Amino acid sequence: MRFGIVGTGKMGHEIESLAAQRGHDVVWTLGSAENREGKGLTPTKLAGADVIFEFTVASGVKANLLTLAAANAKVVCGTTGWSQDVDQVSRAFEAGSGALVYASNFSVGVHLFWDLVARASALYPPAGYAAYLTEEHHAGKRDAPSGTARKIAAIFESKAGRALPVTSVRAGTVPGTHRLVFESPEDEVEMTHRARGRSGFARGAIWAGERVAGRTGVFEFADLLKEMPGFVER
């Protein structure tokens, strides 16, 4: 398949590297300087790619996705911080023949971790266990809490019926660590997902791209994962 990549940050480079290993061709990449308000996404450029990966920043993602929807593109989006625009963007894709799959995290391990969070949040009683979440990412990550942390907090609240305190750390080169703790006077239970690098996120994004190419409509990554043998649905 032919891939186009919008965003030349760490994830864009990781996707480009892994795509070649999986036998795909990255036919172009597009940085922010070339793509003000989505204007770098020209019909000629888009016609050359089967799937477009959008991994940029919250301030630019809406313009990019609306441009891609108008072009009926097949898109994988891993940018976070645009939840307020999901409905508008979804309508734009559903009005055409394009397709969008999006997620705050494309790691299969994280999605399975969310299943564990749902189960644990329903098990530990609020009368005996206080709960909190800490999340750590590299100094260059702009959003805090992370999209993954916000998802963990939402799952916890839906299952436990109470809010989850979240602490964010932005320092160094940490790819991503999320630690959910249930603490009582007698003991402490800790659940941790620690990314060893970005390859797991890139692998999941490419897996999604391989499957969205022949579809139309809007999907969350979890929708596609339900098709994976052995995947446990929350």
* Catalytic annotation, residues: 137, 141
The two beta strands, 177-183 and 166-170, are unpaired
- Structural tokens at position 160: 């436990």
Question: What would the 3-class secondary structure string for 142-174 be?
Answer: CCCCCHHHHHHHHHHHHHHCCCCCEEEEECCCC
Cβ distance 173 to 138 under 8 Å?
yes
φ, ψ (nearest 5 deg) of residue 126: -60, -25
CA distance to 104, 106, 180, per residue, from 101 (Å): 11, 10, 27
- Structural tokens at position 204: 């999941």
DSSP H helices, the chain, are: 10-21, 43-47, 58-70, 86-94, 108-123, 147-160, 199-212, 221-225
